[in-house]
Structure 1
């Protein structure tokens, strides 16, 4: 198999695909470079630009990494969480209900799907990491306990630390807080880090 090439827009840092690359890099030949848009180039004729499509492809091509689950039910659950991240969890209007749903689901689980890390965890974690509303809840110690436990557990893992160090995730966080300020439908406004 030829080397895959993931191009990431550093102004819109896609943490989900970067985390997936970190988890599949031992099984798949892949290079990551900065560019103007987020693209996974599989071949001259096959290119993915949608974040969820990039995630799914990486997980499917590196089956031994186990990121796409082990059976049809887990595949479907993972797809649910990818969609949940892209819609409910990313929306100012539905963030509160989404975070409560997430907390309920994590009340008796270590991982969102099955008994090991999956794309669901990577994608939901990345969405929260990039969320000003979530960062504000953490700062004000108002984050739901089960989500906070799960988020911290994943954040402490080597792959998450490595992505943060390689891609200066704290810069992305400041960008997200600025974006959050511009969201007219959010009920609260975070303070920018000083």
Structure 2
């Protein structure tokens, strides 16, 4: 489908089938923005997202997708690696922060972050939204600001920048994991 028909299907047809007819809807897609849009629009409904983990002779291994948990696990592994892996971990912390703010906004506020101005927003642009989410504390706000600054790609190209070591990365991983646990996102 083209973009207009896809959006109409996601925003109009699926809710109509779910709400007006009590149907279960299964959508198969390899396009990430479609699955993310489906998650955003159906946050208040009971929904699950699955992905194929691997293919074996007996068929695919299908597991429930918990994007934040999966990304967190990936970051933890990369942070223990060599310099290249640690640089990757710092970048993924930025991505995790972006996903976390979006998911938390949806979870607590009941609506996705405003579109289209935040569709491709970075962690530093999304950060002010975190400040406005009901229930966030000044300590959490200050801590997340520190994490956003830590993983900001702008300072990674400065002369003298050294890729952080695990002890420097770990507090940011722990902070994000603690927030995700507190708010029930993992």
TM range (shorter): 0.3 to 0.5
What's the TM-score once normalised by structure 2's chain length?
A: 0.33
More helix by share: 2
Larger radius of gyration: 2
What's the TM-score once normalised by structure 1's chain length?
A: 0.32
